[in-house]
Amino acid sequence: MPDVFDQIEWKVRKVLGSEPVCVHVGNVEECEIKRHPTYLKFRAEAISAGIRSASTSRLWESIIAMGRLSDLDGDDTWRLVILDCIIPCFRSLSARISQDFKVEREEIWSGMVATALEVWVDTAMGVPPRRVRDRMVKAAFEVAFRCGNSTSSEYSMDEFDMFVRPEISSQSSVLSASSIIDVNSIRDADAAE
Protein backbone atom coordinates (compact mmCIF):
# COMPACT_ATOMS: atom_id res chain seq x y z
CA MET A 1 0.00 0.00 0.00
CA PRO A 2 1.47 3.40 -0.93
CA ASP A 3 2.50 5.64 1.94
CA VAL A 4 2.65 9.43 2.11
CA PHE A 5 6.25 9.39 0.87
CA ASP A 6 5.26 7.34 -2.17
CA GLN A 7 2.36 9.70 -2.88
CA ILE A 8 4.69 12.72 -2.90
CA GLU A 9 7.20 10.95 -5.14
CA TRP A 10 4.50 9.86 -7.62
CA LYS A 11 2.96 13.32 -7.74
CA VAL A 12 6.31 14.96 -8.53
CA ARG A 13 7.15 12.38 -11.18
CA LYS A 14 3.71 12.82 -12.72
CA VAL A 15 4.16 16.60 -12.94
CA LEU A 16 7.83 16.71 -14.00
CA GLY A 17 8.05 13.36 -15.78
CA SER A 18 11.26 12.69 -17.65
CA GLU A 19 11.60 16.27 -18.88
CA PRO A 20 14.66 18.39 -18.07
CA VAL A 21 14.42 20.37 -14.83
CA CYS A 22 15.54 23.98 -14.51
CA VAL A 23 16.39 25.42 -11.10
CA HIS A 24 17.62 28.70 -12.55
CA VAL A 25 14.43 30.27 -13.90
CA GLY A 26 11.99 27.37 -13.75
CA ASN A 27 11.54 27.08 -17.50
CA VAL A 28 14.06 25.24 -19.66
CA GLU A 29 13.19 27.28 -22.79
CA GLU A 30 13.70 30.63 -21.03
CA CYS A 31 16.92 29.62 -19.31
CA GLU A 32 20.23 30.77 -20.80
CA ILE A 33 22.07 27.83 -19.24
CA LYS A 34 21.46 25.01 -21.67
CA ARG A 35 22.50 22.13 -19.43
CA HIS A 36 19.50 20.69 -17.57
CA PRO A 37 19.27 17.21 -16.04
CA THR A 38 16.18 15.01 -16.03
CA TYR A 39 14.27 14.95 -12.77
CA LEU A 40 15.73 11.62 -11.61
CA LYS A 41 19.29 12.86 -12.13
CA PHE A 42 18.43 16.21 -10.55
CA ARG A 43 16.88 14.45 -7.54
CA ALA A 44 19.97 12.27 -7.05
CA GLU A 45 22.19 15.37 -7.10
CA ALA A 46 19.92 17.21 -4.64
CA ILE A 47 19.85 14.26 -2.22
CA SER A 48 23.63 13.97 -2.36
CA ALA A 49 24.13 17.71 -1.87
CA GLY A 50 21.70 17.70 1.06
CA ILE A 51 23.57 14.90 2.79
CA ARG A 52 26.95 16.53 2.31
CA SER A 53 25.97 20.06 3.31
CA ALA A 54 22.77 21.73 2.24
CA SER A 55 23.69 25.01 3.90
CA THR A 56 26.62 25.51 1.49
CA SER A 57 24.97 23.98 -1.57
CA ARG A 58 24.08 26.37 -4.37
CA LEU A 59 21.77 23.69 -5.74
CA TRP A 60 19.71 23.66 -2.53
CA GLU A 61 19.70 27.43 -2.43
CA SER A 62 18.24 27.42 -5.95
CA ILE A 63 15.71 24.71 -5.08
CA ILE A 64 14.44 26.68 -2.09
CA ALA A 65 14.29 29.89 -4.15
CA MET A 66 12.30 28.09 -6.86
CA GLY A 67 9.98 26.79 -4.15
CA ARG A 68 9.39 30.30 -2.84
CA LEU A 69 8.73 31.65 -6.32
CA SER A 70 6.29 28.87 -7.19
CA ASP A 71 4.49 29.42 -3.85
CA LEU A 72 3.96 33.05 -4.85
CA ASP A 73 2.36 31.81 -8.08
CA GLY A 74 0.11 29.43 -6.12
CA ASP A 75 1.92 26.35 -7.45
CA ASP A 76 3.06 23.68 -4.97
CA THR A 77 5.22 21.68 -7.40
CA TRP A 78 8.57 22.86 -6.06
CA ARG A 79 7.43 22.44 -2.47
CA LEU A 80 6.74 18.80 -3.34
CA VAL A 81 10.12 18.58 -5.10
CA ILE A 82 11.80 19.75 -1.89
CA LEU A 83 9.92 17.14 0.14
CA ASP A 84 10.73 14.46 -2.42
CA CYS A 85 14.43 15.32 -2.19
CA ILE A 86 14.54 15.06 1.63
CA ILE A 87 12.30 11.98 1.97
CA PRO A 88 15.15 9.45 1.64
CA CYS A 89 16.61 10.62 4.97
CA PHE A 90 13.09 10.58 6.47
CA ARG A 91 12.61 6.96 5.38
CA SER A 92 15.75 5.64 7.03
CA LEU A 93 15.17 7.44 10.33
CA SER A 94 11.47 6.60 10.52
CA ALA A 95 12.20 2.91 9.89
CA ARG A 96 14.74 2.87 12.71
CA ILE A 97 12.46 4.70 15.16
CA SER A 98 9.51 2.49 14.25
CA GLN A 99 11.56 -0.62 14.92
CA ASP A 100 13.31 0.61 18.08
CA PHE A 101 10.28 2.18 19.77
CA LYS A 102 7.52 -0.06 18.34
CA VAL A 103 5.67 2.87 16.75
CA GLU A 104 3.53 2.74 13.62
CA ARG A 105 5.54 4.06 10.68
CA GLU A 106 2.51 5.85 9.23
CA GLU A 107 2.22 7.93 12.39
CA ILE A 108 5.87 8.94 12.17
CA TRP A 109 5.67 9.64 8.41
CA SER A 110 2.66 11.90 8.65
CA GLY A 111 4.20 13.80 11.57
CA MET A 112 7.46 14.30 9.70
CA VAL A 113 5.80 15.56 6.51
CA ALA A 114 3.40 17.85 8.38
CA THR A 115 6.25 19.31 10.43
CA ALA A 116 8.48 19.83 7.39
CA LEU A 117 5.64 21.70 5.67
CA GLU A 118 5.01 23.82 8.78
CA VAL A 119 8.69 24.78 8.87
CA TRP A 120 8.50 25.60 5.15
CA VAL A 121 5.69 28.06 5.84
CA ASP A 122 7.34 29.46 9.00
CA THR A 123 10.63 30.13 7.21
CA ALA A 124 9.04 32.01 4.30
CA MET A 125 10.16 35.35 5.73
CA GLY A 126 13.51 36.16 7.29
CA VAL A 127 15.29 32.83 6.82
CA PRO A 128 17.98 32.56 4.14
CA PRO A 129 17.30 29.80 1.58
CA ARG A 130 20.49 27.96 2.52
CA ARG A 131 19.11 27.32 6.05
CA VAL A 132 15.59 26.15 5.13
CA ARG A 133 16.30 22.54 4.16
CA ASP A 134 18.28 21.85 7.34
CA ARG A 135 15.54 23.37 9.50
CA MET A 136 12.89 21.26 7.79
CA VAL A 137 14.89 18.07 8.30
CA LYS A 138 15.83 18.88 11.89
CA ALA A 139 12.24 19.65 12.89
CA ALA A 140 10.97 16.48 11.19
CA PHE A 141 13.60 14.39 13.02
CA GLU A 142 12.61 15.96 16.34
CA VAL A 143 8.97 15.08 15.76
CA ALA A 144 9.88 11.51 14.84
CA PHE A 145 11.92 11.08 18.02
CA ARG A 146 9.17 12.69 20.11
CA CYS A 147 6.68 10.26 18.63
CA GLY A 148 8.96 7.35 19.49
CA ASN A 149 9.75 8.59 22.98
CA SER A 150 6.12 9.25 23.88
CA THR A 151 5.15 5.73 22.88
CA SER A 152 8.21 4.29 24.60
CA SER A 153 7.30 5.95 27.92
CA GLU A 154 3.81 4.49 27.70
CA TYR A 155 5.20 1.01 27.19
CA SER A 156 7.77 1.29 29.95
CA MET A 157 5.08 2.11 32.52
CA ASP A 158 2.97 -0.83 31.37
CA GLU A 159 5.95 -3.15 31.65
CA PHE A 160 6.69 -1.85 35.15
CA ASP A 161 3.08 -2.32 36.26
CA MET A 162 3.26 -5.91 35.12
CA PHE A 163 5.89 -6.71 37.77
CA VAL A 164 4.11 -5.09 40.71
CA ARG A 165 2.08 -7.62 42.67
CA PRO A 166 -0.90 -5.89 44.33
CA GLU A 167 -1.27 -8.41 47.18
CA ILE A 168 2.26 -7.74 48.41
CA SER A 169 1.96 -3.96 48.21
CA SER A 170 -1.35 -3.92 50.12
CA GLN A 171 -0.07 -6.28 52.85
CA SER A 172 3.04 -4.23 53.48
CA SER A 173 1.06 -1.01 53.82
CA VAL A 174 1.24 0.69 57.24
CA LEU A 175 -2.21 2.16 56.83
CA SER A 176 -5.24 0.09 57.70
CA ALA A 177 -8.92 0.85 57.41
CA SER A 178 -9.19 1.56 61.13
CA SER A 179 -6.49 4.22 60.97
CA ILE A 180 -8.31 6.08 58.20
CA ILE A 181 -11.92 5.77 59.40
CA ASP A 182 -13.02 7.20 62.73
CA VAL A 183 -15.20 4.39 64.07
CA ASN A 184 -16.81 6.66 66.72
CA SER A 185 -18.33 8.91 64.05
CA ILE A 186 -20.16 6.04 62.25
CA ARG A 187 -23.79 5.72 63.38
CA ASP A 188 -24.51 2.33 61.83
CA ALA A 189 -23.16 -0.46 64.07
CA ASP A 190 -22.85 -2.94 61.17
CA ALA A 191 -20.76 -0.50 59.16
CA ALA A 192 -18.54 0.19 62.16
CA GLU A 193 -17.62 -3.52 62.38
CA-wise closest residue to 21 among 43, 1, 53, 51: 43
* Separation CA 11–CA 32 (nearest Å): 28
Q: Is 130 exposed, middle or buried (0-12, 13-18, 19+ CB in 10 A)?
A: middle
pTM of the model: 0.74
DSSP 8-class letter at 174: S
Q: pLDDT per residue over 126-176, tens digit each? A: 899 999 999 999 999 999 999 988 865 554 444 444 444 445 444 554 545
